[in-house]
A and B are shown apart, each in its own frame.
Chain A
Amino acid sequence: MAITLSGDQAIPGPPLSSRLTPAQVWGIILLAPYLLVFLAFVVYPVCYGLWLARDPSNYVALYNDPIFARAAINTLIFLIIGINIKMLIALFLSGFFAQQRTWIRWLSVIFILPWAVPSIPTILSVRFMLNPEWGVVNHLIFSFTGDDGPNWLNDPTVALAMAIGVHIWKSLPFWTLILITGRLAIPHDLFEAAEVDGASWWQKFRYITWPSMQTLYVTCTLLSMIWTLGDFNSVYLLTGGGPADLTHVLATLGIRYLRLDQLSLAMASIVCAMPFVLPLVYFMMKRLSR
C-alpha cells in the first residue's frame, strides 16, 4: 500500500480505485473467480449446514443412535490402527524402494498402479473376490481344504478389517513415494561413514534415517488421518456400511443420514467430528505455511 503520512489522515482519502496501483486492481480481478467459488460452494454450504445442525435435539438423537456410536468407534479404529499400520509399511517399503536395482525400479512403476487407477473398479474387484459363493478366495479355500470358506463381509470385524485393507492397498503407494523422496534427501555419505564405523542396520536406521525423517513421517501420518476421515469409497463400495450398519465410518454415516432424508442429523454427525478434525487441520496449516 502507498505510504500514508500521519498528517494526511484528516484529509478524506481519494477514492479506492485511485489508491490502488493498476497491478493491485488486476490482482483483485484475478483473485475474484476463486473468491466467488469459495463463497458460493464453501462458505454458503458450511454456514447453511451449521444452521441446519443448530438444534440440540439432533445431538440427543445422535447420542441415542447406536449406529452413530459404532461409526465413531469404527472411525477411530480406522484412523489409529489402519493409518499407523499403513505408515509403518510405507516407511519400511521406502527403504526397500530406495535400493538401487533395476528390477526394484520396475517394481516401483508397478507398485504405483493402485494409486493411478480409479478406486471404484478395484474395490468392486476385491468385493467379488470375497464373495462367499462365487468369489475366488472361497473357491481356493474349497479346493485346498474341501471346506466352505467364511462369509467374509458378513462379520463386522472382518468386514471393517477388509475395508482398512482396501484403503491401505489404495493409498500405500502415495505415502511410500513421499517417504522415498524424504529418504533420498538424506546425504549418502552419512551412511558410508556409518558403514565404515561398522554400524548395524538398526543403528543406521535409529541414528541416521529416523532423525532426518521423523518430521516428515509425523506430518504424513497426520495428513493421512485427516484425508482418511473423508474416505467414503473404501467402506461404502466394499461393505456398504453393512452388515446391519455395523461397519459405517463417519464419512459413510453422513451420507447414510442424507439418503434417509435426515439432513440435520447428517450435519450434526459431521459437527461432532469437528473437535477432532479442526486441531489436526490447524496443526497441518501451521506446518505448511511456515
Chain B
Amino acid sequence: MKLPSLRDVATEARLLLIGIPVFLWTMIPIYHMFLFAISPKEDAFSGKLWPDHPTLHNFEIVFKQQHYFLRDFYVQFWNSTLIAVSVGVLTLLIATAAAFSISRLKVPGGRAVLNLALFTYFIPAAFLAVPMYRTMGNYGLLNNHWSLILAMVTIASPYAIWVLKQASDKLPVELDEAAVMDGATTLQIFRLVYLPLMMPSLVAIGTYAVLLAWNEYLYAFLLLSNDREITLPVALGNFLAADDSPWELLMTTGFIYALPPAAVYYAFRRYMVGGLTAGAVKS
C-alpha cells in the first residue's frame, strides 16, 4: 500500500473544508424538523442534538388524528394525492398531444403556440395567481378541487410541452414515414411509434407535474379554503394561525408530507436529471 503524499492529504483536507459546511447547511433545517418529529413535547425545545427519549408518539397522534389541527389529516392527504395525480395525468395528456402535433405533424401555427407556451412558462406563477384567483371565482370553481387541478395543469403544461417537443424533435422522421408507407393512420403512429419511444421523457414530465402539484402552496391556499377541501401544505400553513400551535405535530405532519415527493424524486432521479436539465437550460 502506498502512503498518500502530503499534497494528496492537503487536497483532501481542502475538499473536506468545503464538504462539511455544505453538508451542515443542507441538513440542519431537515434534521431540525426530524428532531421535532421524534421528540416528546417537553424535549423538543431543549436544543439537544438527539432527544433523551426518542419516540414515535407524535406520528401516532397524527395518524390517529388526535388533535384539533389534525382532525382532517386523512382527507387532506387524500386531497393532495388526488390533485397531484390528476394534474400529472392531465398534463401528460395535454402536453403529449400538443408536442406530437407541433413536432411530428407540423401543424400550422405550431411554432406560435410553442412560443406562447414558453412565454407562459416565464411569467412568474405568483403574478398569474392574482388574476387566476378572480377567474376561478368567475367560473364558479373556487373551493372546488378542479380549480387547483386546472390551475396547476396551466402552470405545468408549458414546460411539459417544451421538453416533450425537444425530445420528439430528436426522433428520426424516417420512423413516421416508414409507418405511413405501411398504411398506419396518424393515431396508430401516435400510439404505436411515438408513445413507446417517448417513454423516458414522459416519465420525467409526469413526475415533474405530480411533484409540482403536490408541493404547491400559493395556489392551493388561494383557491381552496374549506377544511375538508384543502391540501396538506395549506393545512400546515393553517397551523401558524394559532399562537400556541403544536410545533412538534406540525413538524411531524410536515415530515410525513415531505416523504412521498422525496421518495419519488430519488426513485426517478435518473430520468429527472437527464430530462429536465436538458430542457431547463440550453447553453
Query: Chain A interface (Cβ within 8 Å of chain B)?
Result: 1, 22-24, 26-28, 30-31, 33-35, 37-38, 40-42, 44-46, 48-49, 52, 93, 96, 99, 101, 103-104, 107, 109-122, 124-126, 128-129, 134, 136, 139-140, 143, 169, 173, 177-178, 181-182, 185, 213, 215-216, 219-220, 223, 226-227, 229-233, 236-237, 250-252, 254-255, 257-258, 263, 266-267, 270, 273, 277, 280-281, 284-285, 287-290
Contact = CB atoms under 8 A, between A and B. Distances in A.
B94 A37 contact: yes
Contacts of A121: 33, 236, 251, 253-255, 257-258
Given A107-B23, A118-B258, A220-B281, A30 B122 contact: no
A248 B241 CA distance: 19
Interface stretch (B56-64, B65-73, B109-117, B198-206): B109-117
B15 interface: yes
A96 B19 CA distance: 8
B164 to A, nearest CB: 11
5 contacts: A27-B101, A27-B108, A30-B105, A116-B262, A118-B214
A204 to B, nearest CB: 15
Contact of A182 (B32, B94, B217, B283): B283
A140 B110 CA distance: 59
Identify the 6 closest CB pairs spanning chains A and B, nearest first: A230-B124, A121-B254, A27-B107, A49-B131, A27-B105, A45-B131
Given A31-B110, A128-B32, A24 B45 contact: no
Contacts of B110: 27, 31
B32 A129 contact: yes
Nearest to A36: B94
Interface residues of B, number: 94
Interface in B244-272: 247, 250-251, 253-255, 257-258, 261-262, 265-266, 269
Contacts of B22: 93, 96, 107, 111
A285 B118 contact: yes
Contacts of A285: 115, 118-119, 122
Nearest to B240: A124
B185 to A, nearest CB: 8
A116 B239 CA distance: 23
Interface string B23-52: 101111110110010000000011100000
A125 B31 CA distance: 9
B55 interface: no
Contact of A34 (B36, B161, B186, B251): B161
A266 B151 CA distance: 19
Interface in B161-198: 161-162, 185-187, 190
Interface string B211-233: 00011011000100000000001
Nearest to A257: B130
Contacts of B47: 136, 139-140, 143
A49 B134 contact: yes
A26 B126 contact: no
Given A33-B94, A38-B117, A96-B18, A181 B215 contact: no
Contacts of A277: 123-124, 127
Nearest to B98: A34
B157 A34 contact: yes
Contacts of B130: 49, 254-255, 257-258, 263, 266-267, 270
B92 to A, nearest CB: 11
B125 to A, nearest CB: 5
A31 B98 contact: yes
B218 A233 contact: yes
Contacts of B261: 116-118
A29 to B, nearest CB: 8
Contacts of A231: 126
A194 B36 CA distance: 51
Contacts of B82: none
A125 B254 contact: yes
Which of A42, A101, A103 neighbours the largest number of chain B CB atoms within 10 Å of its CB? Answer: A42
A289 B118 contact: yes
B16 to A, nearest CB: 9
A33 B258 contact: no
A114 B25 CA distance: 10
A232 B218 contact: yes
B93 interface: yes
B142 interface: no
Contacts of A118: 214-215, 217, 233, 257-258, 261
Contact of A28 (B107, B115, B122): B107
